[in-house]
């Protein structure tokens, strides 16, 4: 608005009224005080100017904010185009359409704008801002731009041009984007080779095209139609396997030649390295192929806890090996023996094995009279363990269970079940727990870790993922080496002299423990068949659901597994030559 000038009429000249006559040399009244008044005004002026300068200097240290700019950017982030247009000095007819074209063409899922410090020059101001746009299927794009504002009679308004959307955008131009999906990586075995089709399908999992809902849930790098993991390791490690898409943000003008204003470099997916050994996996699958019922098999490297094989038959949606929670039956006697030997019970001490004790009985009503404790172990005499457990100090059995990882949460890289040992609330619960019944449950995965602990002398939480991609595991638990040595010997005797003789393999070193675990409400109850053991550094657990006797049903499966494993190399020996004479 231009300045208006108005003519001013000249004032009539006036004179002061004449005063009384003065004597010669006499000053007019009040003349002596005028210099003091001038000095006083000068001082006041200096003080006022100094205060204003001080206040201006102080205020300049504070960020200059324009509420109108903040309100405009907030409305932009919410897509409130009506409020935005009301804050523009002269919004063009295509104002809303240009914003909508940007959102649609770039597939903006979220937008946020943060104002910087305003620079004010009279009736004009510039407010820099940072834009952060989440583009569906590409990720986050950040760029710097600025709002230009002008002050009029109704306050500050945005002086809008297409460059307000992006500094490089000019009249008549539009936004576009490109996107290239990355190559999905493979899930590989411990040797770096892709797992064969059909290997542990409930563990490896499945993939499929992402629905719009899945794409939204999986984050900004995924768009509908992308191949994503839907179950198992494929789902858990989808981000690793999927990689990052590549693409561009472009501005297209009348020539049709795109100007690239941002590049998403992208990256192919990274292979997920599992601990699966294809040879051991084949042996496990071969073993349970002859099981008399639904079966699970898990093999673990004893000195690392790495899962070498997971077998499940049939693959009917039930992940028995790692997600099944079963009473472990007499395989739990490894844990109970650790408690008993730990308080001083000698493997050779005589114990009684009656047909019944404290309401518990032996399988098929067996009774062996007075026998060494080691024989009670390899014959799997329930009543001997019931009687001996009654002599344990309070809490000793629970402490032993926790040495073998019961009640310890761990993450193998996929949802799994460990071992559960609830604190016994009665003597009957304690005695039932000592033979792996009552409220005690475990997965085949966990019972394989129990066998591995005896083979190695340390309990280790199992893992299915190798290297840096593996979830953090709890620290290994050291077991008493003398107790471990005794249980190791007794587990060998189970195979050579006891209930596990069907697991014996000529020329191979096999140790184990059978289990016949009651479940259900039938009378007599049904039983799961168990066998846990180790051979040449590989620990394993076999379960046949409702199979009956562990010795007659699960032990042969374990023997079949060991027989299919490559024979270990012969030990290296060193000889020292003697005198020729």
Q: Is the pLDDT of residue 45 over 50?
A: no
3 state DSSP class of 46: helix
Of 438, 448, 366, the C-alpha closest to 398 is 438
Q: Is the pLDDT of residue 161 over 80?
A: yes
User: Per-residue pLDDT averaged across 383-391, rounded?
Assistant: 96
Of 276, 269, 334, the C-alpha closest to 301 is 276
Plot region of 461 (φ>0 → left; ψ -120 to 50 → alpha; else → beta): beta
Tell me how far the alpha carbon of residue 356 is from its chain's centroid: 49
In which band, very low, low, confident or very high, does the pLDDT at 574 lie, cut at 50, 70 and 90?
Answer: low
- List phi, psi (to 5°) of 343: -100, 10
Q: What is the DSSP letter of 231?
A: S
Q: Which strand (E) or helix (H) includes residue 111? A: strand 108-115
Each residue of 9-33: b (16+ CB within 10 Å) or e?
eeeeeeeeeeeeeeeeeeeeeeeee
User: Per-residue pLDDT averaged across 380-384, rounded?
Assistant: 97
Which CATH class for the 67-172 domain? alpha beta
CATH 3.40.50.720 for the 187-270 domain, yes or no? no
| Distance in angstroms (rounded) separating the CA atoms of residues 155 and 193 | 69
Q: Which residue has the tokens 């004032």?
A: 11
Q: Residue 140, exposed/middle/buried by CB under 10 A (0-12, 13-18, 19+)?
A: middle
Half-sphere exposure of 35 (CA within 13 A, CB side): 1
Question: Of 385 and 575, which is predicted with more confidence?
Answer: 385
pLDDT, averaged across the chain:
89
In which band, very low, low, confident or very high, does the pLDDT at 34 lie, cut at 50, 70 and 90?
Answer: very low
User: Per-residue pLDDT averaged across 6-10, rounded?
Assistant: 35
Sequence ranges of the domains in the chain: 67-172, 187-270, 278-333+377-382+394-514+531-564
> CA 191 → CA 163, 279, 413, distances in Å?
55, 11, 18
In which band, very low, low, confident or very high, does the pLDDT at 289 lie, cut at 50, 70 and 90?
Answer: very high
| Distance in angstroms (rounded) separating the CA atoms of residues 502 and 559 | 7
∠ CA(464), CA(468), CA(474), 5° rounding? 60
Q: Is 434 a catalytic residue?
A: no
Global confidence as pTM: 0.82
Mention every residue, 6+ apart, whose C-beta is less than 8 A from residue 73: 113, 114, 115, 129, 147
Structure confidence at residue 42 (pLDDT): 41
N-terminal to C-terminal alpha carbon distance within the chain: 125
Q: Is the pLDDT of residue 540 over 80?
A: yes
User: Per-residue pLDDT averaged across 554-577, rounded?
Assistant: 83
Structure confidence at residue 49 (pLDDT): 39
| Distance in angstroms (rounded) separating the CA atoms of residues 309 and 302 | 13
| Distance in angstroms (rounded) separating the CA atoms of residues 569 and 225 | 50
Structure confidence at residue 314 (pLDDT): 92
Which CATH class for the 278-333+377-382+394-514+531-564 domain? alpha beta
439-482 per-position pLDDT tens digit: 999 999 999 999 999 999 999 999 999 999 999 999 999 999 99
Of 522, 512, 525, the C-alpha closest to 380 is 512
Q: Is the pLDDT of residue 30 over 90?
A: no
Half-sphere exposure of 429 (CA within 13 A, CB side): 11
Set 242, 313, 330, 535: catalytic member: 330
| E runs forming strands in 136-245 | 139-152, 155-158, 174-180, 187-188, 207-209, 227-229
169, 257 Cβ separation under 8 angstroms = no
């Amino acid at each position: 608005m231009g300045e208006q000038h108005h003519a001013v009429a000249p004032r009539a000249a006036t004179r002061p009224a004449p005063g009384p006559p003065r004597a010669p040399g006499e000053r007019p009244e009040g003349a002596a005080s005028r210099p003091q008044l001038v000095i006083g005004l000068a001082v006041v002026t200096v003080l006022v100017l100094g205060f204003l300068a001080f206040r201006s200097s102080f205020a300049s240290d504070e960020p200059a904010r324009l509420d109108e700019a903040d309100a405009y950017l907030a409305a932009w982030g919410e897509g409130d185009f009506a409020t935005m247009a009301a804050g523009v000095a002269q919004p063009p007819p295509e104002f809303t359409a240009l914003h909508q074209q940007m959102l649609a063409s770039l597939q903006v899922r979220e937008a946020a704008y943060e104002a910087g410090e305003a620079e004010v020059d009279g009736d004009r101001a510039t407010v820099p801002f940072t834009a952060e746009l989440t583009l569906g299927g590409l990720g986050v794009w950040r760029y710097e731009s600025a709002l230009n504002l002008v002050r009029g009679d109704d306050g500050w308004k945005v002086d809008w041009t297409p460059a307000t959307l992006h500094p490089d955008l000019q009249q008549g131009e539009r936004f576009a984007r490109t996107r290239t999906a990355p190559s999905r990586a493979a899930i590989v075995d411990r040797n770096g080779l892709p797992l064969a089709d059909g290997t542990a399908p409930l563990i490896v999992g499945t993939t499929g095209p992402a629905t719009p809902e899945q794409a939204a849930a999986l984050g900004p790098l995924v768009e509908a139609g992308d191949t994503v993991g839907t179950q198992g390791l494929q789902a858990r490690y989808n981000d690793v396997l999927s990689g990052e898409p590549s693409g561009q943000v472009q501005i297209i003008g009348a020539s049709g030649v795109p100007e690239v204003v941002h590049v998403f470099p992208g990256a192919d997916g990274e292979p997920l390295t599992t601990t699966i050994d294809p040879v051991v996996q084949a042996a496990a699958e071969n073993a349970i192929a002859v099981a008399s019922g639904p079966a699970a098999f898990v093999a673990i490297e004893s000195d690392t806890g790495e899962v070498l094989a997971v077998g499940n038959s049939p693959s009917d949606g039930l992940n028995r090996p790692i997600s099944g929670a079963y009473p472990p039956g007499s395989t739990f006697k490894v844990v109970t023996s650790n408690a008993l030997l730990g308080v001083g019970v000698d493997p050779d001490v005589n114990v009684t094995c009656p047909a019944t004790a404290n309401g518990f009985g032996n399988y098929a009503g067996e009774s062996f009279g007075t026998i060494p404790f080691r024989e009670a172990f390899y014959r799997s005499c329930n009543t001997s363990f019931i009687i001996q457990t009654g002599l344990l100090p309070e809490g000793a059995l629970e402490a032993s269970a926790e040495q073998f990882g019961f009640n310890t949460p761990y993450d193998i890289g996929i949802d799994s079940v460990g071992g559960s040992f609830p604190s016994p609330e009665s003597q009957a619960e304690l005695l039932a727990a000592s033979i792996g019944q009552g409220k005690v449950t475990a997965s085949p995965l966990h019972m394989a870790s129990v066998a591995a602990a005896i083979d190695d002398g340390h309990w280790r939480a199992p893992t299915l993922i190798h290297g840096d991609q593996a979830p953090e595991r709890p620290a290994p638990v050291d077991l008493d080496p003398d107790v471990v040595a005794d249980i190791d010997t007794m587990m060998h005797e189970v195979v050579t002299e006891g209930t596990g003789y069907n697991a014996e393999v000529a020329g191979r070193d096999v140790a184990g423990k059978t289990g016949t675990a009651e479940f259900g409400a039938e009378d007599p109850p049904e039983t799961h068949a168990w066998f846990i053991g180790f051979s040449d550094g590989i620990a394993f657990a076999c379960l046949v659901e409702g199979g009956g006797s562990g010795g007659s049903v699960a032990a042969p499966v374990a023997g079949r597994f060991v027989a299919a494993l490559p024979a270990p190399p012969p030990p290296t020996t060193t000889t020292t030559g003697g005198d020729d004479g």
